Amino acid sequence: MAILILAIQNVGFGLAVWLAGALSDTTSKTRLLLIGSLILGFGFLTFYVSPSFPVNMGVMFFIGVGMGIFEGITDALLFDLHEERAAYHINVNHFFVTFGSMLIAFYLIFLENQWRIAMVQAGLIILLLAGFFALAYVEQRGGPQESYRTRLRAIASSPLLTRLFIISVVLVGADVGAMGIMTTYLVEVRGFSQFGSKLALVIFLAGVAAGRLVIGRFAETQRIPRMVLTLFGLSTVAFSVLFGLNLGALTYLIAFLAGLTMSAMLPLILAYAGARYRDMAGTVMGAIKVAFPVGGIITPFLMSIIAGALSLQAAVLILPLSMALGFALMLPVVGTYEPAAAQA
């Protein structure tokens, strides 16, 4: 049942992030965030108020919609607020996503997994945030001259955006797969304690958070493809060592480096796509973000199949192979599209 609930949440997220991204080019972003806050806040408050599973499936769909609206709008909003330093600010935005995930994990531990209390508290906080968006105003900058159908046709016919979408699917899949399998792998294959394996996961997330703050500072639009290519190469090495060698206590260092090298790639890809298509940045980034639920389903599913058919050690090899595949896919972007004749 948990798989069905997550699946319906991903459907809601995927639809909302696509549509919200497109609407952000022509509609007030703060009003869209107000709508997203109301949907997400009431979704959290009503989740499992009723014991009916179909009802909670519907609630989870709307929770996914609320999350998708936030994801589809925030990076586009940063282009309006900080166009010259959009890549850095998008990295900072995604840093807070990672930081928030860590805080929620610790908070649930503090509440001894009384997740219903946490859901109600989160819902109330998000409804307060809705009040802020109701009062806030950000001037709409730029915006497409073409219809949504024309923009959609431009996205579908762009080799660059198609490639960036596939790269994002690979990257998100590896990210979700690494976080999902790391503790189990370290306990069952490397002999770590439960505490030691969870510490390694926290250190991995700390590397992701640190990288998004530090690496993003050096990002300029025309340099992004080479930066992403370099990070894919370093990630291939880091994940190969992390999941291929038994290094004992040094595993913690490698976990941090793996998180660090993976950290900034997705925000940089989004920033590059938005800058290349500045007049419809929200539409473009929203389309690429559909890769989030797609990658988050495909790679863990493949890993579970391989783990059942072969072994956990064989399954985790997908992670360094994913980084190597990302490197190969990114090579033509560097060669063909840099320096970018940006449409900004």
Q: Along the 344 residues of the chain, how does pLDDT read in single tens digits?
A: 666 777 888 899 999 998 998 888 888 889 999 999 999 999 999 988 888 888 989 999 999 999 999 988 988 888 877 777 778 788 888 888 777 766 766 665 566 557 778 788 888 989 998 999 888 877 766 555 677 778 878 888 889 999 999 999 999 999 999 988 999 999 999 999 988 988 898 899 889 988 888 887 787 777 889 999 999 999 999 999 999 999 998 999 999 999 999 988 999 999 899 888 888 888 899 999 999 889 988 998 999 999 999 999 999 999 999 999 999 999 998 865 443 334 43
Quickly count: other Cβ atoms within 10 Å of residue 57's Cβ: 15
> How many structural domains compose the chain?
2
Query: Does 225 lie in the same domain as 106?
Result: no
Query: Does 227 lie in the same domain as 123?
Result: no
**Is 101 part of a structural domain of the chain?**
yes
Q: How far apart are CA 10 and CA 135, in angstroms?
A: 30
Query: Does 262 lie in the same domain as 113?
Result: no
Q: How far apart are CA 29 and CA 137, in angstroms?
A: 8
Query: Does 206 lie in the same domain as 119?
Result: no
Write out the DSSP string of 189-230.
TT---HHHHHHHHHHHHHHHHHHHHHGGGG--GGGHHHHHHH
C-alpha pair distances (Å), 43 with each of 59, 78, 190: 6, 26, 40
Question: What range defines the domain where residue 274 resides?
Answer: 157-330
**Is 184 part of a structural domain of the chain?**
yes
Query: Does 182 lie in the same domain as 90?
Result: no
Angle formed at CA 306 by CA 303 and CA 312, multiple of 5 degrees: 80
- The pLDDT value recorded for residue 110 is 63
Q: What is the CATH number of the domain that holds 292?
A: 1.20.1250.20
**Is 127 part of a structural domain of the chain?**
yes
Query: Does 293 lie in the same domain as 179?
Result: yes
